[in-house]
Chains A and B, each alone.
Chain A
């Protein structure tokens, strides 16, 4: 591409338009910069930048190309950032019962009515004497505007530091705000979804931390030292992998004493979920250790007298840490689903804790769901979060693979 002859350039060179100042006359009507232009500089700059770029930059650049993964990552980031302030976004306290709103359907919201922005109508419930189901009728002549950024209802606590009743949206004066309806005790499902996310989403993080710790230590020892330790770890990996997860989870969580508080139960459940998940990670760590142990730079470090801690910590770890993070990302959804399944079956978290699985427990009642389908609402965030974690994990793994 060194200047070439003109015919060549017109045929295929994408830079032809701006190229070689002298050829301008042949294409009237186009604006062409007078600046001297060297076809090589751009390419060189790009090359240099690529060569100088750190691994992180390269990975980030590859990751950004996968739009779905980026989107999923953003979605999860927002979800997790929302967790500590879930109470601010929820119009109600998750335990606030309203006997007038038992099984209330999702409420109608009008965007502009009577000069107000976002309006609901007060609803009156009465028992239909023929079917014995509550019937809700809205009074459309009486629009009530939502209240924004005020205090209302029971206070929510911010990370246990302080309590406030200040909320983003409050139900209108003298009316209710059930965006996704209410459950069998008249509790707002939307507020419970937001609060339920706190437990449902953190259970995966804690579980993965535990399984990560066990997997790293056992896999690392097995891979680095080999011998009987390796054999023992290998056997236990095989045994745990051959056991069906869910029945064992059920048995372990059935062993949690009934008199434990919700927080203790929550931690126990995360530990149980983590305890069965480590074999996959341990296996990955072990195989990485086995292959990296033979690398020249490890040999060199050994010959120079570096300690085991140093070799492992600063030479080997950076090489496989990123892969482990990617595979850990992929095992978080398994744990979220595990907690949901356990709570759904009544062996996981216990009320008054709020989690998506516990909310779905209500949905096991066939007749209730038939009449009040909004009880199934927690399925949507579960599926979205699981999908997002899968996309994010896939994206990370692809971005980290230098050969892709």
Chain B
């Protein structure tokens, strides 16, 4: 198990490395950025002080170096103007647009993003597991049809449109606060129980919106898997031997059907994170979504690069957890891994 976990972690690390290169390349794609414009303006003014400031900025952010060196400095693999000082060392860079360190800009939003996605996953599993199981056990009854119908609606309604509707009507329909992640009075306050409670209440609608499409897919898959298992002879045997109704489902078939259910997190996570960014933008949640959008608009590439990297780390870490969980659940994966 330890060897498997280690190998899996290693795979994640180099995937992350490639992803980070790709991201650095993407955020540097636009021909001009805030800093270059600033420098050009300073140089165009022709004053000695401005020119020297421009030169200082160029050096400070290693803009005179080739792209690959800039990347290595950004990541912290290569000594920059201030020695080793990159993401690995905890220096996330400088936001030119806001004139603040990136770490300070994203700050709380990072935790909000993690919390939102984590809650969304928990919601997906908590709802999908019983719903899928019931739909399979009561196959072709009205419960099943209802679950399928809800699932289809959830699958087909794009979550940002759902967000748009609930953004307008949610407060009226459910009496829940919609829009933003906390009440205005808590905006600049330190964390307290009252604030935490307020955030949780504000998160209910976004979590449902983000989770619905993933949940629908999960219900369908679990239902199909469990139906396959329930038809197998060992279930009939168990029933013939007088195992209770609940146990004939929960003890073996459900465990078998759970396998792809957990493995599915790999497909679920990227779309979930995408969805959370989009829903945050539509509903104005204080996650990294709106920060990313404004950073991309102003081509503030340290900021947008870090956020993209963070979002990728979030998905990759989630996939790692799901793979490890799968290995715990299913001995076949552990052993087949060892043989290779």
Which A residues form the contact surface with B (CB < 8 A)? 235, 238-239, 241-248, 250-252, 254-255, 257, 337, 340-341, 344-347, 360, 363-364, 366, 369-370, 376, 379, 382-383, 386-387, 390
Q: Is there an interface contact between A345 and B293, defined as CB atoms closer than 8 Å?
A: yes
Residues of chain B within 8 A of A386, CB atoms compared: 156, 158
In the complex, are the beta carbons of B304 and A382 less than 8 A apart?
Answer: no
With A242-B270, A243-B312, A246-B277 as known contacts, state yes or no: A344 contacts B293, CB within 8 Å: no
* Majority secondary structure of chain A interface residues (helix, strand, loop or mixed): helix
List A contacts of B282 (CB < 8 A): 344, 364
In-complex Cβ contact of B30 among A238, A254, A337, A364 (8 A): A254
Question: Would B155 and A366 count as touching, CB distance under 8 A?
Answer: no
Q: Return the contact of B29 from the options A239, A255, A347, A364 (Cβ within 8 A).
A: A255
Given contacts A370-B168, A383-B156, contact A242 B278 (CB under 8 A): no
Give CA–CA (A199, B194) in the complex, Å. 48
Q: Are A242 and B19 in contact (CB under 8 A)?
A: yes
Name the residue on B nearest A251 (C-beta). Answer: B26
The answer, among B22, B161, B273, B308, for a CB contact under 8 Å with A382, is: B161
Q: Provide the residues of chain B in CB contact with A346, threshold 8 Å.
A: 297
> Could you list 21 A-B pairs, sorted by A, with CB under 8 Å?
A239-B22, A241-B266, A241-B270, A243-B19, A243-B270, A244-B270, A244-B273, A244-B277, A245-B274, A246-B277, A247-B308, A251-B23, A251-B296, A254-B30, A341-B278, A347-B297, A363-B164, A364-B282, A370-B168, A379-B161, A382-B161
Shortest CB–CB separation between residue B17 and chain A, in angstroms? 10
**In the bound complex, CA of A241 to CA of B15 (Å):** 11
Task: Kindly state whether residue B263 has any CB partner on chain A within 8 Å.
Answer: no
State A257–B297 Cα separation when bound (angstroms). Answer: 11
B313 to chain A, nearest CB (A): 10
Query: Hey, which bits of chain B sit against chain A, CB under 8 A?
Result: 15, 18-19, 22-23, 26-27, 29-31, 155-158, 160-161, 164-165, 167-168, 179, 266, 269-271, 273-275, 277-278, 281-282, 292-293, 296-297, 299, 304, 307-308, 311-312, 315-316, 319
Chain B residue nearest to A387 (CB atoms) is: B156
- Residues of B with C-beta under 8 A to A379: 161, 164-165
Cβ-defined contact, B299 with A254, below 8 A: yes
Determine if B273 and A376 form an interchain contact, defined as CB atoms under 8 angstroms apart.
no
Which A residues are in CB contact (< 8 Å) with B297?
254, 346-347
Contact A250 B296 (CB under 8 A): yes
Verify B278–A243 contact, CB threshold 8 A.
no
> Looking at the complex, which one of B15, B31, B296 makes contact with A347 (CB distance below 8 Å)?
B296
A387 to B292, CA, bound (A): 30
- Within the complex, the shortest CB–CB distance from A232 to chain B, in Å, comes to 12
Chain A's nearest CB lies how many Å from the CB of B287?
Answer: 12
Contacts of A238 in B (CB 8 A): 15
Classify the secondary structure of B's interface with A.
helix
Query: How distant is B278 from chain A, measured CB to nearest CB, in Å?
Result: 5
Query: Are the C-beta atoms of B308 and A248 separated by less than 8 Å?
Result: yes
Chain B hits for A345, CB < 8 A? 278, 281, 293
A245 near B271: Cβ-Cβ < 8 Å: yes
One of B29, B158, B274, B299 near A247 (C-beta < 8 A):
B274
Report B-chain residues with C-beta under 8 Å of the C-beta of A369: 168
Docked-complex contact A246 and B26, CB < 8 angstroms: no
Bound state CA distance, A262 and B287, in angstroms? 31
C-alpha gap A382/B160 in the complex (Å) = 12
Specify the chain A residue showing the minimal Cβ separation from B179.
A366
Query: A250, A252, A383, A390: which contacts B292 (Cβ < 8 A)?
Result: A250
Q: Which residues of B contact A242 (CB under 8 A)?
A: 15, 19, 266, 270, 312, 315-316, 319
B117 smallest CB distance to A (angstroms): 10
Q: Which A-chain residue is minimally distant from B15 (CB atoms)?
A: A239
Contact A243 B26 (CB under 8 A): no
A252 proximity list for chain B (CB < 8 A): 26, 29
In the complex, are the beta carbons of A390 and B161 less than 8 A apart? no
B223 to chain A, nearest CB (A): 16
Residue of A nearest to B32 (CB): A257
Q: Which of B18, B29, B158, B179 has the most CB of A within 10 A?
A: B158
A251 neighbours in B (Cβ, 8 Å)? 23, 26-27, 29, 296, 304, 308
- Complex CA distance for A370 and B164, rounded to whole angstroms: 12
Question: What CA separation (Å) do A235 and B14 show in the bound complex?
Answer: 11
Residues of chain B lying within 8 A (CB to CB) of residue A341? 158, 160, 278
CA–CA, A34 and B272, complex, Å? 69
Contact in complex: A376, B26 (CB < 8 Å): no
CB of B166, distance to nearest CB on chain A (Å): 12
- Distance in angstroms between the alpha carbons of A345 and B293 in the assembled complex: 8
Cβ distance B238 to chain A, nearest Cβ, rounded Å: 29
Contacts of A241 in B (CB 8 A): 266, 270
CA distance A390 to B151 in the complex (A): 13
With a cutoff of 8 Å between Cβ atoms, the chain B residues found around residue A257 in the complex are 30-31
User: How far apart sit A369 and B163, CA to CA, in the bound complex (Å)?
Assistant: 14
Would you give the shortest CB distance from A245 to chain B, in whole angstroms?
5
Asked if B164 and A247 make an inter-chain contact with CB atoms under 8 angstroms apart, the answer reads no
| Nearest A-chain residue to B314, judged by Cβ | A244
